[in-house]
Amino acid sequence: SSQPHSQLWLSYRPVSAGYAVHASARFQELVCPETGDLALAGVSPLWRACEELLAGLEGMLGRRPSRVNATGTAPALLLQLQPSSPDDAISGAAERSLAWPPSPADEGYSIHLNTLHTVISSRSPQGVLYGAFELLRRLRREDPGALAGGGEVVRSAPSAPLRHWDLWDNLDGSVERGYAGPWQHRFDVAAARSSVVYPLGQQRDEQRAHDLARLLASVGINGIGWSNVNACDHGNQHLLSSRNIASMRALVALFYSYGIHSFLTPCFDSPQIVGGLFTSNPQVPEVKAWWAKKIEEVAGAFGDAFRGLVFKGNTEGQPGPGSHGMSQLQGANFFAELLEEVGAICIWRAFSHPEGGVDQALYQFQRFENWDGEARWNVALKIKNGPYDFQVREPVHSLFGHLSNTSLILEFQAAQEYFGHAKHLVALPSQWSSYLGFDLSSRFPPYNVQTLAQVASGGIGRMPFSGIAAVSNIGTSRNWTGHVFSAVNTYGFGRLAWTPTTPAADIMREWVEVTFPRSSSYAVSVLTRMLQRSWEVYENYTSSLGWGFACAANHYDLDDMDRRRHTDHRASATHIGYPRNAGGGYASTYNAKVAARFQSIEQCPEELLLSFHQVPYTHRLRTKNNSTVLEWIYRSHMSGVNAAEGFVTDWLAIEGHVDLGSYPGDAFVDITTRLEIGASDAAAFAKSIREYFETLTGCGLRDGRLQCH
Ligand code: GCW
């Protein structure tokens, strides 16, 4: 469309006049070092840092600094590249003298204030870029510390080596679980042509892709998965055609100039579909030769920007090694061996469904539990945060505590597949940070504590290809995410992946401040508080106590709820919950301390009670005012509805106090509409759930008290 898209948190509108005067006095000149070795596009992240600072300072301060080659007597901003220290290289990578991934220490930066000059320095070009974005964030928030005083303003380095953003975009232009397309398509996912990059070569708006790269780099993302892991339809099956590879070259180079490496997700059956072979069985020599040649072609076209292939094998209808009598492990090792030749890795997804009545959680654990020591060094296993499927609350996946000699990538979902799509307010950093802080405990004394964040940062074995990834929530909406507030999930993911120990509330407040910069401090507090509460509110009006799968994606579907009686929540007339506490059950796959806690009905966190225990509805909850389970199901739903209605009231009360200047069109009305839809959906959800349990149990709440007939 001809209407411009929003620049989100990179909207460089003027700061207040007083701050602008001080700041522009400090940044009269900009010194950019020679960019040296040029990236594929001929542009390096250092060059991008200069470009971004010039635009940002001009926009926010009203004065463009002059670009000079060396400092003189005027106050200047200097970008400095320092030599990197081999001691800091990640162990595994150093042994194999791989140039990638960069060590987190090399990707870090510092910002330093001398009397006259401000210096951003790093040992890597992308580190300088990250530092530039940090300075711009501080100016956006009118931080006095960014201008005054002397000494170090900040020194920061990421903790995880890989920080990835995964598009589930299809080559035909649609997006799997993408809800940020045109408003009229908000329920009709398959129909929505909401990809900002596909169909290839038909970008309506070149600037979109460019701005996506800037937005991602600004929060420290260093890798992108270019297409849907359901890789064999919607045009994706042709991903590896020479024509597609050639047309992706420009995109790949563009992102690389922002420090973002590329990962491709090919269809397992590419040898047949693209190569015209009679089979895709990896054990057939022609198939192996085809893959080897294809990988060379990709590496040749993309250069160092290419770092790996991603596979989802033999689940949800996808072909895989199992189609040819090979195990998942053999499949991953097959590709890893070929990818080693070009310095790239094989990322293998753990998400899978069992057949028959097997517990999915246990099944996934058993499918991958023996990978330590068996998977090749350049394999990374990508595991969803929990064993179900991005539900409102899940136990952290036990594989994270079990595997210690395999690179593990933690997968989150920013797209709100199970969170009311782009209609509901759900700020996910709270959920993600609660998982990241979870202590899986270690199997290896003397290390006792091991949080999920530590595992994703390489863990005890300092695994080189560990990291954190998120499924994208980006689409063609002018505000990128459909719901204006959903951008907190894009921003928050990057910031958390960089420093997983940052409190979620700090990240969400920061997002509010950089996105709605000239708002009143009252409005900032109200907004931050809404975001902070939203996960729990959503949990209350959908599925409390960890039973999961209460709603079919974006609506309550009672047939689905009933079907899931057998596989998930196991509700009967008298009991509810999945008994994973029994000997040999999923709870026993955790390290001893954690297993004991989950297995005990007294110690199991009540938010996850029904994930591990089957209890009578009369079971009393100590952290919920001693309510019984059934009372709590009814009460939590009522309180969730009230809170969702409260969001509308809170929002209307700050009208005129929120700076919506980053958004085109009438963002206030759009947000109001979505909050209202959220509230009315919440009421409908709660009504369905009440009717479901009243029918099942014969008991309902009347005037706050449980009555049965
Ligand atoms: O939950 C399911 C989603 C699918 C997705 C799959 C996966 C890409 O509904 O849309 O497929 O998870 O993560 O592989």
| ipTM score for this prediction | 0.99
Tokens of 3: 């209407």
Please classify residue 34 by burial: count the beta carbons closer than 10 Å to its beta carbon, then call 0-12 exposed, 13-18 middle and 19+ buried: exposed
Ligand 1 atom at minimum distance from 312 CA:
14
Asked if residues 78 and 120 have their Cβ atoms less than 8 Å apart, the reply is yes
Query: What whole-number distance in Å separates Cα of residue 86 and Cα of residue 66?
Result: 35
Structure tokens of 112?
């330093």
Domain ranges of the chain: 8-156, 163-506, 541-578+614-708
Give the mutation target among 265, 389, 471, 554 for probing the ligand 1 site: most ligand atoms within 8 A of CB.
Answer: 389
* Closest to 457 (Cα-Cα) out of 428, 427, 437: 437
* Count of all residues that appear for the chain in the document: 709
Task: Decide whether any atom of ligand 1 lies within 6 Å of the 229 Cβ.
Answer: yes
Q: How many CB atoms lie within 10 A of CB 283?
A: 13
d(CA 155, CA 403): 32
Q: How far apart (Å, rounded) are the C-alpha atoms in residues 607 and 7?
A: 38
Phi then psi for residue 659, to 5 deg, are: -85, 100
Query: Ligand 1: which residue has its CA nearest to atom 2?
Result: 389
Ligand 1 center to residue 556 CA distance, Å?
19
CA distances (Å), origin 141, targets 48, 103, 118, 144, 580 = 22, 30, 18, 9, 48
Query: Model-level pTM?
Result: 0.96
* CA separation for the pair 467, 409 (Å, rounded): 5
Q: Which CATH superfamily is domain 541-578+614-708 in?
A: Alpha-glucuronidase, C-terminal domain (3.90.1330.10)
Phi-psi region of 8 (alpha: psi -120 to 50; beta: other; left: phi over 0): left
Using the Cα atoms of residue 547, residue 552, residue 557 and residue 559 in order, give the sign of their dihedral: negative
What tens digit of pLDDT does each residue of 109-152 get? 999 998 899 999 999 999 999 999 999 999 999 999 999 867 88
Based on the residue annotation, tell me whether 389 is a catalytic residue of this protein: yes
Contact, 561 vs 692, CB < 8 A? yes
Distance between CA atoms of 32 and 16, rounded to whole angstroms?
27
Query: Which two tokens mark 520?
Result: 């009143």
- Name the residue with the closest Cα to ligand 1, atom 7: 351
> What residue's CA is closest to ligand 1, atom 11?
230
Pairing of strands 261-264, 223-225: parallel
Residue 651 carries which DSSP code? H
**Omega before 445 within 30 of 0, i.e. cis:** no
CB-based contact 208:5 (threshold 8 Å): yes
CA 593 remoteness from chain centre: 29
What's the CA-to-centroid distance between 315 and ligand 1, angstroms?
Answer: 10
Structure letter (DSSP) for residue 102: P
- Beta strand 306-311 with 261-264: parallel, antiparallel or unpaired? parallel
Nearest CA to 683 out of 535, 483, 540, 530 is that of: 540
Catalytic residue chosen out of the listed positions 52, 142, 169, 417: 417
Low-confidence ranges of the chain (pLDDT < 70): 1-2, 34-42, 84-98, 149, 182-191, 203-204, 550-558
316 carries an active-site annotation: yes
Topology alike, domains 8-156 and 541-578+614-708:
no
Cα distance between residue 671 and residue 666, in whole Å: 9
CA 384 to ligand 1: nearest atom: 13
pLDDT at 4: 87
List the alpha helices (DSSP H) in 663-706.
667-697
In ligand 1, which atom is closest to the CA atom of 553? Answer: 9
Burial of 125 per CB tally in 10 Å (0-12, 13-18, 19+): buried
471 CA: nearest ligand 1 atom: 13
What pLDDT does residue 196 have? 93
Q: Please tell me the predicted confidence (pLDDT) of residue 275.
A: 98
Position in ligand 1 atom list of the atom nearest CA 176: 10
Query: CB pairs under 8 A, 24+ apart, for 696-699?
Result: 696/571, 696/572, 696/573, 697/573, 697/574, 697/617, 697/630, 698/573, 699/617, 699/630
Which is the catalytic residue, given 316, 341, 372, 691?
316
Measured in degrees and rounded to the nearest 5, phi and psi for residue 160 equal -95, 135
The two structure tokens encoding residue 603: 């110690």
Q: SS3 letters for 395-410? A: CCCCHHHHCCCCEEEE
CB atoms within 10 A of CB 706: 16
C-beta of 389 in contact with ligand 1 (< 6 A)? yes
Cβ–Cβ under 8 Å, residues 387 and 396: no
User: Is the Cβ atom of 166 under 6 angstroms away from ligand 1?
Assistant: no
3-state secondary structure of 110: strand
For position 382, what pLDDT does the model report? 98
Nearest protein CA to atom 12 of ligand 1, as residue: 389
Q: What share of the chain is helix, strand, coil (3-state, %, to 5)?
A: 40, 15, 45
**Confidence at residue 91, expressed as pLDDT on a 0 to 100 scale:** 45
Residue bearing tokens 């809800």: 179
Q: Is the CB of 177 under 6 A from ligand 1?
A: yes
Looking at domain 163-506, its CATH superfamily turns out to be Glycosidases (3.20.20.80)
Torsion of CA 286, 291, 295, 296, to 10 degrees: 0
Virtual CA dihedral for 639, 642, 646, 649, nearest 10 degrees?
Answer: -170
Ligand 1 centre distance from Cα of residue 390 (Å):
9
Among 380, 564, 595, residue whose Cα is nearest residue 467: 380
CATH architecture of 8-156: 2-Layer Sandwich (3.30)
Is residue 233 flagged as an active site residue? Answer: no
- Per-residue pLDDT tens over the stretch 175-186: 998 888 865 445
